[in-house]
Structure 1
Amino acid sequence: MTSSPLVTVVMPAFNAQAFIGEAIASIRAQTLEDWELIVVDDGSIDQTFAVAQQAAGDDSRVRLIRFGRNEGISAASNAGFDAARGEFIARIDSDDRALPTRLAAQVAAFRECARLAACGGHARLFGDGIANDTYGLCTLGDGALKARLFEGFNTIGGAMLMVRRSFVREHRIRFDMQMASAEDLNYLVAIMVAGGEIGNVDEVLVEVRSHRTSFTRSREDLAGPAMKGLRKRLLALWYPSLGPRDIDLIVGMWFGLEVGTDELLAVVRAVDRLIAADAKDFGQDVSVLHDLIVRRLVAVVDFFRGAFDASHFQAIRVLAAPAIGVALDAARLSHEAV
C-alpha cells in the first residue's frame, strides 16, 4: 500500500489461536474496504502468530507485529496505535468479531461530528453461558457516557473503540502501561480530560465472545483494584474540593464496607458533600453521576438495615440530603426500619 488507509484496526492478541482467525476474517469482510489491520502478537506461546498469518493470506492490508515476550494489552495496543496510518484507529479484541458495517458506521459518526474524539457502539454477546439474543446496549450521548465512566460499563468497550488519530496524537493519549485491567476506560478518561467528546453509534457493531480463557474471566483479581483506582481518579478530577477520605468512603461502597453505624453515617456525609460540591466541568452529566452514587448508597443502607435499629436510620434521614432522603423513601427503607 502506498497511500494511507482511512481506518487502522488494531488487534492485540495473546494465546488467541482458537479465535483469532474469525476475528481477522470479520475485518476482511467489512463493507468499508479502505482499512489496514495491525495484529500485535503479545508474546503468545501457542500458534497465534501462525494462525494470524494463515487468516491474513495474501491480503496486503494486514500487518503483523510480534513481541518476544508478553508485555500486556496496554503495550500491545500502544504498539498498534503508534504504527497506525489511518485517519481513524479502531481496536478489536482477538476473540471477538466485527459485524460487516462496523467501520463504516463509526466513520460516518465521526464525519457527522467534528468534535467527536472517540466512538463505540452496542454489542451482541455470545459464547459460554450466554443465552441467544443477548445484547450489551451502551449509553448514548457525551455527557451521560462521561458520567458512566465511573460505573465502568455501558460506556465504550475496548472491543468497540474507534478514535480520531489526530486528536489522540495531538494530546499524546496512550494506554497506561501500569494498568492490567480497565485500560480502555482509563484511555477514555484521558480523552475526556483533553476536551474530546465521546459517543456511541446506536447500532450493534461487534459480537463479543464469552469463554473461560478470556482475560475478563480468567483475571478477575485485577478488575477490582483497577476499577477502584479509576473511580478515585474520576472523583478527584470532577470534585477537587472533595477530600481523600470522602473519596475513599464513596468508592468503598462498591468494594466492601465495614458493618458499623459510624462508618455508614460517614458515607452518608461524604455523599452529601459530593452532591453539594461544585463539579469541575469535563462535559459529564452531573445528574447521572449523582443518581449512580445515591442508588448505590440506598443499596448499601438496604443491605445493612438488619444490623441497625430505628434510631440509626433516623440519624441517616436527618443527615441525608434531600436527594438521598427521597431515594430512601422510594426504597421504603425508612418505614421498614421503624
Structure 2
Amino acid sequence: MTPKVSCIIIVYNGEEFLGEAVESVLAQSFADWELLIVDDGSTDSSRGIAQRFAQAFPGNIRSLCHADGRNHGMSSTRNLGLSHARGDYVAFLDADDVWLPNKLMAQVAVLDAQPDVGATYGRALIWHSWVEGTAKEADFFL
C-alpha cells in the first residue's frame, strides 16, 4: 500500500534522542504514514535503534543506510530517504526533534484542501530548557 505521508528521519550519532523522535511519529493522530529512518554512518547505537523500530513496526517503519555504511552528510542522507519514499507527501524530522501528535493531521488537511500549495510548515519551539538549570538561552518559537 502507498502511504499518504513519508516521514524521513536522518540520524548521525543520535542515540540519545532517536527513540523519542520515532515515538513522536508513532503517536501521530494521522495514521497513514511510513517512517524511513536513514542512518548516516553512525558509530553509536543509532543504527541498532532504527533497526529495532523497523522490526517492531515492519508495515510502517524502515531502516536504511548508505551502501558503504559511511557518513555522507545531511543532504545525501535525506536524498537516500527520498529515493525510498512512497508517500504522496514527505515530512522531515531530525533525530533530535519531536512532533506534536496532530502535526501530520493538520498539515495533510491543508495540503489536501489546497492542491496548489507545495509545502507547509508549523512553528518550531527551540527548546533550551529541556535540562533544568542548564539553559544558556531562553526557549523561543521560530
What band does the TM-score fall into relative to the shorter chain? 0.7 to 0.9
Instruction: Give the distance between the partners of 2:110 and 2:18, measured in 1 at CA.
Output: 27
Q: Which has the higher helix share?
A: 1
The corresponding residue for 1:49 is 47
The corresponding residue for 2:113 is 112
Percent of aligned pairs sharing the same letter: 38
Unaligned runs of 5+ in 1: 138-338
Say yes or no: does 1:21 pair with 2:19.
yes
Question: Aligned Cα RMSD in Å?
Answer: 1.4
The aligned amino acid for 2:85 is A
TM-score calculated relative to the size of structure 2: 0.87
Bigger relative contact order, structure 1 or 2 (CA pairs below 8 A, ≥6 apart): 2
* Alignment equivalent of 2:10, drawn from 3, 9, 12: 12
Instruction: Give the distance between the partners of 2:95 and 2:107, measured in 1 at CA.
Output: 19
The corresponding residue for 2:103 is 102
TM-score calculated relative to the size of structure 1: 0.38
The corresponding residue for 1:136 is 141
Displacement after TM superposition at 1:50 (Å): 0.9
| Cα shift readout 1:37-83 (whole Å, capped 9, x = no counterpart) | 00100011111011223344521200010121000000010111111
Instruction: Give the distance between the partners of 1:39 and 1:55, measured in 2 at CA.
Output: 9
Displacement after TM superposition at 1:135 (Å): 3.4
The aligned amino acid for 1:114 is P
| Cα shift readout 1:165-184 (whole Å, capped 9, x = no counterpart) | xxxxxxxxxxxxxxxxxxxx
Instruction: Give the distance between the partners of 1:25 and 1:85, measured in 2 at CA.
Output: 21
The corresponding residue for 1:64 is 63
Q: Which has the larger radius of gyration?
A: 1
Instruction: Give the distance between the partners of 2:85 and 2:54, measured in 1 at CA.
Output: 17
Instruction: Give the distance between the partners of 2:119 and 2:21, measured in 1 at CA.
Output: 22
- Give the conservation status (yes or no) of the 8 Å contact 1:122–1:135: no
- Give the conservation status (yes or no) of the 8 Å contact 1:9–1:90: yes
- Give the conservation status (yes or no) of the 8 Å contact 1:25–1:55: no
Which contiguous aligned blocks of 4+ residues in structure 1 show a shift greater than 6 angstroms?
Answer: none
SS in 2 for 1:89: strand
SS in 1 for 2:124: strand
Displacement after TM superposition at 1:121 (Å): 0.6
Give the 5 Å matches for 1:256-335.
none
Say yes or no: does 1:122 pair with 2:123.
yes
Instruction: Give the distance between the partners of 1:85 and 1:32, measured in 2 at CA.
Output: 17
The aligned amino acid for 1:78 is N
Unaligned runs of 5+ in 2: none
Instruction: Give the distance between the partners of 1:122 and 1:42, measured in 2 at CA.
Output: 27
The corresponding residue for 1:318 is none
